[in-house]
Amino acid sequence: MKIALLGQFGSCNSGNDGSLEAMILFLKRRQPSATILCVCPGTIRDRYGIEATSIRSPSPKGLLAIANRLPGHLPRKIARMYDAYWQLKDVDVLMFPGTGILDNYQENALGWPAKIWLWCGAARARGIAAIAAQRWLVSFSTAKTWRLAK
């Protein structure tokens, strides 16, 4: 079984990294044979000894970079969707360990809510279950994002 953990890990936030560490320990106890993939903006591969991939997709190059200057940055958004879909190859479960990405204070709709929606959409396209590890979603916009991703 391969489990992907998505969050803002490795970004010098001890709370986020603590959530990641707790989830890794929990999964290793419950599913010792599981492979863990971390999808995050920071670098955590060496610190925790797990597979990691960037939540950010590469910037478009060549003609796509020129086209990306158009309003809406459509080429970059398509590249992100494509990249998320392929990074979830062989993943059985996508989990959100409950870091601050599930809150909406100091955030706009195109920030973490959009990233969650994109990754949940990629998971759904692959037939992968997406699970939030928090008991309650406290904000309307976050709850709405989860409903859209279903």
| Alpha carbon 80 to its chain's center | 12
User: pLDDT digits over 102-145, tens only?
Assistant: 666 666 667 777 888 888 899 999 998 877 765 443 344 445 55
User: pLDDT digits over 68-90, tens only?
Assistant: 777 667 777 777 888 889 999 99
CATH number at residue 17: 3.40.50.2000
Taking the whole predicted model, whether its pTM rises above 0.95 is answered as no
Structural domains counted in the chain: 1
Domain that holds residue 95: 2-149
